[in-house]
Structure 1
Amino acid sequence: MDLKAVGQIAKTSFSSFRRLVNSGVSLFLYQPTGSEPEEYHKWYYNTFVWNKTKWLGVDTWKSVSDMWNYQEILSELKPSLIIEFGSNRGGSALFFAHVMQRLGHPFKVLSVDINHSILDPAAVNDPDILFVESSSSAPEIAEQIQRLKEEFPGKIFAILDSNHERDHVLAEMKLLRPLLASGDYLVVEDSCVNGHPVLPGWGPGPYEAIEAYEHEFPSDYAHDEGREQKFGFTFAPYGFLIRN
C-alpha cells in the first residue's frame, strides 16, 4: 500500500472520529427544555394534520405515533377481540384488522358508531371487521361483546374514540368493566382535550372520565406509562390502561 493510500485512510478515520466526538458532545450539550413534546402536540393537533392521515387510502384520524404504539401492543398482546368505539370512515378498524391478519391469530374487530353512513367500502368489505351501528354505551353492545368473547376467546384490546364528553366516556368504561379481564388493554383516546394540552375550552372530556372512573374503581387498571410516554406525546394522555 502506497503512502498516498495510507494517508487517505488516516484522513478518513480521523474525520469519522471527529464526527463521532462532535456527535457525542452535541448529544450531551443539546438537551430538550421539556416543552418540545407539548408544543409539537399543539402543532400536530391544531394544524389538523391528523385529519389528513390515511391507512391505505382510508381516513384514519389518528396520531401516527399512537398507531405505531397500537401495532406494538397488538403484536405483544395477540388479542382475539378488538373493540373500537367510534368508527368514523373505518380506517383504524382496517388498520387493526391488517395488523392482526399479519399476526395470523384468529380474531374479530368490532367497531361501533352511532352512524355508519360515511364508512369507506374498503373497510366495510373486510371480513374480519364487524361494524355495528349503535350508541357505544347501549346495553345491546355489551351483549354483542359477550357473544364475541365466547366465539373468540382470549385477550381483548379496546379503544374508546367516539363521543368525547366525560359522561359518555365514563359510561363506555363502565359498560366494559365486567367484560374486560386481567391483562386486557384499554386505550381512552382524545384525553388530550380540555387543556391536556389542547382545546382548553372543551369542557370535561375523556381525561376527566378516567379520573372519575378511577375515583369509583381505583384498583381496576394500571397505567402503562412506558407506552404513553414512548413517543413524547399522545392523543391518549393518562389513557393507556391495563386491566388488573
Structure 2
Amino acid sequence: MSDPGNPAISVVVIAYEMNRELPRTLRTLSPGYQRGIEAGEYEVIVVDNGSHQPVTAADCPFDTTNMRFLDQDAGGVSPVAAIHQGLDTARGDLVGVMIDGARMASPGLLRHARDAAKIRPNPVIGTLAFHLGDDVQMQSCQRGYNQRAEDRLLATVPWVDDGYRLFDISVFAGSSSRGWFHLPSESNALFMPKRLWAELGGYDRGFRSVGGGLANLDTWKRAVELPHTDVIMLLGEGTFHQFHGGVATNSPPGTMSQVFHEEYRSIRGEQFITPANPDVSYVGTVPTNARRLLVDSALSLLPNRGQGRDHEAGALTARERPFTSPMPPRLAEGLLGGVMKSRYRDVLMHKSPLDLGIYLQLFSRIRPRSLVEIGGKHGGSALLFADLLGAMHDDDYRVISIDNHPRQEFSDRRIDFLRGDALDLATSLSADVLQALPRPLVVIEDSAHTYETSLAVMEFFHPHLRPGDYIIVEDGVVSQLPASRFRAYDHGPNRAVREFLALQGDHYEIDTELCDFYGYNMTFNPNGYLRRS
C-alpha cells in the first residue's frame, strides 16, 4: 500500500456547474468503487472552474478521504488553467486528466492505468469514451433526451454496485465510434507520467474557447505523436458522459464546431486531423457487459468492411426471393433519420412509414387479438398497436411489450410492459401465458437486429404459433444502409430469416403481398412478414 501522503497516481477532474453530475463521477472514482486498487495508492484532485456553488466533500455521500477539492481563482470559460492548477498540485508519478467532470469511470480504470504504466518506459495511456443513452447525445438531445430522462435511465441498472453495467445503457461516443482497435480522436481520461506532462507542456493555454474547444483533442494528438512515447489503450474500460448541457456534447451537431476548429487552425496553422494508428498496446480485461462492443470493434477491422460484404446482402435469398429491394440506400438512410424521431401520441415509436402502412393492411386483414413486441424501447409502437387493436375489439385483446431496458415513461392498462432478454424469453413469457393469448397473434421481433437475437426470437415463438398467426422480423434493411456502423449487424435479421425458413419452412410462408405492397420488398423488413401456415 502506498503512503497516503505520496500516492502513485493523481487524477485531475475539472468541473463547472455540475452539482448533479460531479458527485456521480466522483463516486465512480472513490475507494471501493474502483477495483483492485487501494485508497492510498491514488488521489483525486477536483478543480472547480468557477461554479456558483462548487461541489464539496459534503455533497458526496461516500468515501472522499483521498480527494481534494480546489477552486480555480482565475476562472474563465476554458478549463485549461484549471487543468494546469491540478497538474501543478499533483503528487503522483502517474497523472491522469479528466477534462470533463461529467464523465463517470468504469471500475477498473485506475487499476489498469497503474498496471499499464509499468509495461512501457514512456506510456501514454488512453481510454475510449461512451455516451449514456441509445445515441450520441448531440443527436439524442434533439429527440428529448435530458437530465430527467438520464436519471430514469441510470435507475434501470445497478451501476453503484456494478459500474460495468453502464456499458448496458451507453453507446460509443463520436470520438470513439470505431471501437477499441482504432485510435480515438481524444481520450477523456488521459494518463501519463508527470515527466511526460512536463515535456508536453500540459494543455496549450492558447485554447480559450468555452469548454476548451479542441484542447483535449490537441493534447491527445500531441502526446500520441511524440516520437518516443508508447501508446496504450485500456481494453474494457472507459468513461461515460452524463447529460449536462455542455457546449460540445449536448448541443446540436455543428453548433460550436466551426468556432473550435478555427481556433485550432489559428494555434496550429492546420486543420485538426485525428492521429494515425501507431503501434498500440492493450491492457485490461473485457467485462461481460462490454463484449458486444468488443465484437463491434473487431468487426470494424475486417477487410473491405462495407464493400465486398455488401454484395453478400444481394446474394442472400429465402424461397428464391432476394432480400434486397429497389430502395436506394441513401433514401433508406434518409428515411431512417425520420424513423428515429417519429412519435405517436408524443411517444417515440421508431417505425418506418412504409411499414406502418403495411401493418395497417395486415391488421385490417386478420384483425389480431394479441400482439407481442420484442424490443419495445420507449413504448410508442406498443401504444399505437393497442389503439389499433382497441378500435377493432371492445375487449379480449392483449398487447405485450418486452425490452431488456424498458424506457417507456407511461403506463397503460391495455399494455403489459415487461423486462426481458430476447435471448432468454422463457424467463419473461411462460408457455401458459402464450397458450392463453387470444388469437390471431402477431409477434414483432424488433430487438437487437443481430443474427443471434432474431433467430432466438423466431425459434422461441415457433412452437406457440398457430396457423394464421404472424411473426415479423424487423429491420433487415440494415444490410442495405451505407454507413459503416451498420456493418456490425452482419446482415443479422436477413440471415436469421433465411436459416429459420430453411429449418421450419414447411410451417411458414413469406407474405409477399405485404412485403411487396409498395413494390418489391419496399419495406424496412425485407422478406420479414412470415405467416404460420
TM-score, normalization by structure 2 = 0.36
Equivalent position to 2:412, from 99, 119, 126: 126
What is the root-mean-square deviation in Å for CA atoms of aligned residues? Answer: 2.2
Counterparts in 2 of 1:73-88, with a 5 A limit?
73-88=362-377
Residues 149/36 of structure 1: CA separation in 2 closer, same or farther (3 Å cut): closer
The aligned residue for residue 525 of structure 2 is 236
Query: Is 1:49–2:338 an aligned residue pair?
Result: yes
Asked if the contact 1:85/1:113 (under 8 Å) is kept, the reply is yes
CA distance in 1 between counterparts of 2:327 and 2:369 reads 35
The aligned amino acid for 2:374 is F
Query: Is 1:163–2:163 an aligned residue pair?
Result: no
Residues 179/207 of structure 1: CA separation in 2 closer, same or farther (3 Å cut): same
Higher helix share: 1
> SS in structure 1 opposite 2:408?
coil
CA distance in 2 between counterparts of 1:178 and 1:203 reads 27
Asked if the contact 2:333/2:481 (under 8 Å) is kept, the reply is no
The aligned residue for residue 202 of structure 2 is none
Query: Mind listing any 5+ residue stretches in structure 2 that lack a counterpart?
Result: 1-323
Asked if the contact 2:383/2:415 (under 8 Å) is kept, the reply is yes
Q: Count how many residue pairs are aligned between Structure 1 and Structure 2.
A: 203
CA distance in 2 between counterparts of 1:91 and 1:156 reads 19
The aligned residue for residue 511 of structure 2 is 224
Residues 53/162 of structure 1: CA separation in 2 closer, same or farther (3 Å cut): same
In the TM superposition, what whole-angstrom CA distance separates every residue of 1:19-50 from its partner, at most 9, and x where no partner exists?
Answer: xxxxxxxxxxxxxxxx99412x6324346111
Asked if the contact 1:192/1:236 (under 8 Å) is kept, the reply is yes
Asked if the contact 1:71/1:96 (under 8 Å) is kept, the reply is no
Query: Is 1:114–2:367 an aligned residue pair?
Result: no
Residues 48/212 of structure 1: CA separation in 2 closer, same or farther (3 Å cut): same
CA distance in 2 between counterparts of 1:101 and 1:237 reads 28
Equivalent position to 1:58, from 334, 339, 347: 347
Higher relative contact order (CA 8 A, sep 6+): 1
The aligned amino acid for 1:135 is D
CA distance in 2 between counterparts of 1:59 and 1:89 reads 6
Query: Is 1:97–2:97 an aligned residue pair?
Result: no
CA distance in 2 between counterparts of 1:177 and 1:68 reads 26
Residues 60/190 of structure 1: CA separation in 2 closer, same or farther (3 Å cut): same
Asked if the contact 1:142/1:175 (under 8 Å) is kept, the reply is no
In the TM superposition, what whole-angstrom CA distance separates every residue of 1:151-205 from its partner, at most 9, and x where no partner exists?
Answer: x432101110001110111011000011101110111001112237884553141
In the TM superposition, what whole-angstrom CA distance separates every residue of 1:68-113 from its partner, at most 9, and x where no partner exists?
Answer: 2112212221222101000110010001001111112521101100
Residues 186/197 of structure 1: CA separation in 2 closer, same or farther (3 Å cut): farther
> SS in structure 2 opposite 1:209?
helix
Q: CA deviation at 1:149?
A: 3.6
Asked if the contact 1:81/1:148 (under 8 Å) is kept, the reply is no
Asked if the contact 2:474/2:528 (under 8 Å) is kept, the reply is yes
Query: Is 1:181–2:466 an aligned residue pair?
Result: yes
Asked if the contact 2:445/2:473 (under 8 Å) is kept, the reply is yes
CA distance in 2 between counterparts of 1:196 and 1:241 reads 23
Asked if the contact 2:373/2:443 (under 8 Å) is kept, the reply is yes
The aligned amino acid for 2:514 is R
CA distance in 1 between counterparts of 2:363 and 2:373 reads 14
Q: Which has the larger radius of gyration?
A: 2
CA distance in 1 between counterparts of 2:428 and 2:463 reads 13
Asked if the contact 1:194/1:201 (under 8 Å) is kept, the reply is no
The aligned amino acid for 1:188 is V
The aligned residue for residue 140 of structure 1 is 427
Residues 236/216 of structure 1: CA separation in 2 closer, same or farther (3 Å cut): same
CA distance in 2 between counterparts of 1:114 and 1:219 reads 32
CA distance in 1 between counterparts of 2:504 and 2:373 reads 22
CA distance in 2 between counterparts of 1:36 and 1:66 reads 14
TM-score, normalization by structure 1 = 0.76
> SS in structure 2 opposite 1:217?
helix
In the TM superposition, what whole-angstrom CA distance separates every residue of 1:194-244 from its partner, at most 9, and x where no partner exists?
Answer: 237884553141100011111222212111111111123211001011001
> SS in structure 2 opposite 1:178?
helix
Query: Is 1:71–2:360 an aligned residue pair?
Result: yes
Q: CA deviation at 1:133?
A: 0.4
> SS in structure 1 opposite 2:513?
helix
Is 218-227 or 82-91 further displaced after alignment? Answer: 218-227
Residues 87/201 of structure 1: CA separation in 2 closer, same or farther (3 Å cut): closer
Identical columns (%): 27
Query: Mind listing any 5+ residue stretches in structure 1 that lack a counterpart?
Result: 1-34
